[in-house]
Amino acid sequence: MVNFLKKWQAELRMTFTGHPQSTPDWVLRLAEGNDPGYHLPGSAVWAVHGSMSTIVAGIRVLLMQSLHPGALAGVYDHSGFKRDPLGRLANTIRWIFTVSYGSMDAAHTATNFVRRVHDSVKGSYVDAQGQTREYSANDPELLRWVHVAYADSFVAAHRIWGGAVPGGADAYIREWAQAGRLMGVEDPPLSLAEVTAEMDRWYASGHLRADERLRETIDFIRYPPLKASLQPGYRILFAAAVASLEPRYRELLGLEKPRFGPIPLPSILAARVVLAVVRLTLGRSGPSEQAARQRLRRLGYEA
């Protein structure tokens, strides 16, 4: 049993960080830097991103972002999501946690790296009206959709599976708007009402669509190449992410509607159990947060 738990812990670490045993170097480097960073202990960002609800949110946001054919084309044509999905996941987590816990300089360096990678992500896609359009991963329209879908998903998942957020959802959206600005999003939404209004506009605009690429991508998100020991828990979390979606988005995605109300209680409870086990396995305070607190103490901030 002890050996199984150690193996399972290593597989979890590999899934989220790309390193089965040790803490990745980039996490350790979060202790470096000469400024406190954009987000501090007690912030809404630390509360949300330090919660296990981010795992469900991550699945949910992948589904949501895929509804825009331009965003999906960038992933489908250029990303290694099929060749190395866990590597792509680890890189995404690296950026999120660096902006959340690192110094301002580290956040800018990590973001500039992502934007340079995006420079080469270009191509064309067929929009919801059947017209061929050019796209670039750094296009303001696509950046805005990705940011708003992210905020919507992380707030929705945390509301169900997370704890209290200092200042509530509005504080989280206002604080995480800085990440959007770093990525090039102009005037990102600053409240839950603004996020909701933008999501409504995206839906009403007809920009979102379902096609064969979307169905293929959903199948891949539903059945990723995880280790056998992780698959049962992932299936529960995927079902929970689907259950947390608004019915109109589930319909667009072609996913089953819950049988018991808008969010079936069994999905909520089952996901809560899985997330609790993950938290117990990985530890209550993540290494990124620990490194950030180390930097803050060195700089004389209360950590």
Per-residue pLDDT tens for 19-44? 555 678 899 999 999 999 999 999 99
- Residues of the chain with pLDDT > 70: what percent? 84
Q: State how far the Cα of 62 lies from the Cα of 67, in Å rounded to an integer.
A: 9
Q: At what angle do helices 140-161 and 69-78 cross, to 10 degrees?
A: 100
- Specify the DSSP element, H or E, that contains 124: strand 122-126
Mean pLDDT across the stretch 251-267? 73
In whole numbers, what is the pLDDT of the chain averaged over residues?
87
DSSP state letter for 134: E
Q: State how far the Cα of 38 lies from the Cα of 174, in Å rounded to an integer.
A: 12
For Cα atoms 91, 94, 98, give the angle at the middle one, nearest 5 degrees: 150
DSSP state letter for 283: -
Q: Is the dihedral of CA 81, 84, 86, 89 positive or negative?
A: negative
- Residues of the chain with pLDDT > 90: what percent? 57
Q: Does the pLDDT of residue 181 top 90, yes or no?
A: yes
For 201-212, write each residue's pLDDT tens digit. 999 998 898 888
Q: State how far the Cα of 41 lies from the Cα of 153, in Å rounded to an integer.
A: 22
271 CB-near residues (< 8 Å, 6+ apart): 56, 161, 236, 237, 239, 240
Residue 2's pLDDT band, with cuts at 50, 70 and 90, is very low
Residue 297: which of 36, 23, 42 has the closest Cα? 36
Q: State how far the Cα of 93 lies from the Cα of 76, in Å rounded to an integer.
A: 19
Q: State how far the Cα of 203 lies from the Cα of 195, in Å rounded to an integer.
A: 12
Q: State how far the Cα of 11 lies from the Cα of 19, in Å rounded to an integer.
A: 9
Asked if residues 149 and 241 have their Cβ atoms less than 8 Å apart, the reply is: no
Q: State how far the Cα of 119 lies from the Cα of 139, in Å rounded to an integer.
A: 10
For 82-141, write each residue's pLDDT tens digit. 665 566 677 888 999 999 999 999 999 999 999 998 888 888 888 878 888 888 888 899
